[in-house]
Amino acid sequence: MHESTIQKLTADRAKQLAKEGRALLGLMNKAEASVYRNVNLANYRAWEFGRFLIRAKHEIGHGLFRHWRNATFPNINERKAQRCQELFANNSNATVLSDFSDRSLKKWIRALNLDSVRKFRLGSVPDKFQPEHKGNIKFPRLISFINIVNEYNRLRNRHTDGLQTVDFEEARRETKDLYQFLKWLHGESATNPWTSARR
C-alpha cells in the first residue's frame, strides 16, 4: 500500500476517533451537569424538609416530636432526618427559592455554610468496602465516661450557639438515673444505684 494512502487512512481514522470521543465526552459532561443540578436541588429540598421538621418540633413539643417524626415518616432513616434538621439549623437565614434554575441553585448553595453542605452530602457516599483479612481481630469497644462528657459538651455548645434548643423538662426525665449515679460518684449519696438496682 502506498505511503500516502496509509497516511490518509490514519488521518481519517484519527478524525473518526476524535468525533467518537467528543460525542462521549459531551454525554459525560451532560450527565455530570445533571448530577450537580440534582445534588444541589436535593440539598435545597433537604433544607426545606429540615425547616419543616424544626417548625413541627416547636408546635408538637420536644418531648413528643421524635416519636411523632418516626411514626409519621417510617421510611426515612432517623439520622437522615436529623441531617436535614441540622442543615436547616446551620443555614436558617437562607432564602426560600421560587426559581429553580441552575444559576439560582448554585447561587443558593454558595451562600450556605459549606461545611454543613459537605456534611449533609457525605450521607450519600457509600461506605468504603473493608475486606476481611486473615488474622483480623475485633477489639472490644472500651466503655468510657468521656463519651458521655463529649456528648454533653456537644449538646451544650449547640444549645448556647443557638443551633439546637433543649427541652430541660425532658432532659430531667432522661438523665434522672444518670444524676443519681453522679451524686454517688461524687460522694453526695451513700447508695450506688448500679449495685442497688441488682437487689
pLDDT in tens, 2-48: 667 667 668 888 889 889 989 999 999 999 888 888 999 999 999 99
The answer on pLDDT for 53 being more than 90 is yes
Structural domains of the chain, count:
1
**Consecutive H or E run containing 123:** none
pLDDT at residue 9 in the model: 67
How distant is the alpha carbon of residue 156 from its chain centre?
Answer: 20
Average pLDDT over residues 133-148: 75
pLDDT at residue 167 in the model: 82
Listed in sequence order, the residues at least 6 apart from 61 whose beta carbon sits closer than 8 Å to its beta carbon are: 167
Average pLDDT over residues 109-134: 82
Domain that holds residue 40: 3-125
In a domain, 194, yes or no: no
In a domain, 85, yes or no: yes
In a domain, 103, yes or no: yes
Closest CA to 47 of 145, 133, 113: 113
Report yes or no: 166 and 89 within 8 Å, Cβ to Cβ: no
Separation CA 47–CA 87 (nearest Å): 6
In a domain, 170, yes or no: no
Handedness of CA 43, 49, 50, 52 (dihedral sign): positive
- Is 0.75 surpassed by the pTM of this model? no
The band of 193, judged by pLDDT with boundaries at 50, 70 and 90, is confident
In a domain, 165, yes or no: no
pLDDT at residue 96 in the model: 93
pLDDT at residue 3 in the model: 67
pLDDT in tens, 55-105: 999 898 877 888 899 899 999 888 889 889 999 998 999 999 998 898 999
The band of 175, judged by pLDDT with boundaries at 50, 70 and 90, is confident
In a domain, 98, yes or no: yes
Separation CA 64–CA 170 (nearest Å): 10
pLDDT at residue 172 in the model: 85
Mean pLDDT score across all residues of the chain: 84
Closest CA to 55 of 103, 96, 8, 23: 96
In a domain, 63, yes or no: yes
In a domain, 134, yes or no: no
